[in-house]
């Protein structure tokens, strides 16, 4: 069964770039769509976007101008970058092979 | 964006009793391929969401048969035939046909 694990800094300063990586094990990343979803503390779920292993992407229009998702098939990983972050970007970030497998999530706090 | 509206937002249920959650979408979730891309998730406290039901009524691997999904078009229901203590958490519906994928607000289930 595919397992996903998020990694990256837990604290990012305002106006900087949030960078996270999702490592996929138990299966190849070279198929399926790979997604990022986030959840502000105590709130609901927001879909950020997805990437296909070939590199094609689709982003939530609400974040599209600030988000990039990329894939590295040689490392079986995909990544998320969110530029110009504010406190509103504070959330638990999940990577997923939606809709079935999700990572355990990683909390990213935006604060100086 | 497609708006997913869940009711109720909270439920308090005695163990062994049934529970039901409604999810209504602002547009039909029926795809031209004949499938309806409506999913149900359970997020237990401190955990990532886990898939319960996919395509309206199909139980995901390992999901107990006390969970069932029904509906069509824009109106969907998740039913738990006999609630158990381990069913505590927040239930989300999600639509996977229109981009961006969107989630309901969540329904918090607690045990009386």
Query: Is B100 within 8 Å of A105 when comparing Cβ atoms?
Result: no
Are B60 and B54 a contacting pair, CB within 8 Å? Answer: yes
Percent of chain B with pLDDT over 70: 100
If you average pLDDT over residues B71-78, what whole number do you get? 97
- The per-residue pLDDT for A83 is 98
Instruction: Give per-residue pLDDT as tens, B36-66.
Output: 999 999 999 999 999 999 999 999 999 999 9
> Above 90 in pLDDT, residue B71?
yes
Closest by Cβ to B51, choosing from A58, A62, A100: A100
* Mean pLDDT score, B7-29: 97
A35 by DSSP, 3-state: which?
strand
B8-23 average pLDDT score: 98
Structure confidence at residue B87 (pLDDT)? 98
Interchain pair A99, B54: CB under 8 A: yes
Average pLDDT over residues A69-79: 96
Q: How far apart are CA B7 and CA A98, in angstroms?
A: 24
Q: Is A98 at the interface with chain B, CB within 8 A?
A: yes
pLDDT at A5 over 90: yes
**β-strand partners of B56:** none
Would you call A2 an interface residue with chain B, using a CB distance cutoff of 8 Å?
no
Examine residue A99 and say whether the peptide bond preceding it is cis (omega within 30 degrees of 0): yes
pLDDT of A31 above 90: no
Q: Which residues contact A71 (CB under 8 A, 6 or more apart)?
A: A29, A34, A51, A53, A55, A77, A78, A79
Question: pLDDT grade, residue A98 (50/70/90)?
Answer: confident
Cβ <8 Å between A99 and B50: no
């Amino acid at each position: 069964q595919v397992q996903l694990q998020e990694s990256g800094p837990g604290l990012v300063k305002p106006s900087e770039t949030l960078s996270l990586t999702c490592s996929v094990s138990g299966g190849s990343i070279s198929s399926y769509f790979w997604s990022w979803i986030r959840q502000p503390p105590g709130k609901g779920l927001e879909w950020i976007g997805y990437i296909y292993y070939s590199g094609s992407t689709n982003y939530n229009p609400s974040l599209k101008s600030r988000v990039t998702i990329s894939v590295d098939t040689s490392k079986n990983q995909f990544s998320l970058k969110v530029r110009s972050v504010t406190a509103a970007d504070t959330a638990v970030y999940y990577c997923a092979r939606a809709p079935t497998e999700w990572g355990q999530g990683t909390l990213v706090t935006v604060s100086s | 964006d497609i708006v997913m509206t869940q009711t109720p937002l909270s439920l308090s249920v005695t163990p062994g009793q049934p529970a039901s959650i409604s999810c209504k979408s602002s547009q039909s979730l029926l795809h031209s391929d004949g499938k309806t891309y409506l999913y149900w998730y359970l997020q237990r406290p401190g955990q990532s969401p886990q898939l319960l039901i996919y395509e309206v009524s199909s139980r995901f691997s390992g999901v107990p048969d006390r969970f069932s999904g029904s509906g069509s078009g824009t109106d969907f229901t998740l039913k738990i035939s006999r609630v158990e203590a381990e069913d505590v958490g927040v239930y989300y519906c999600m639509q996977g046909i229109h981009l961006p994928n969107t989630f309901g607000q969540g329904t918090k289930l607690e045990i009386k």
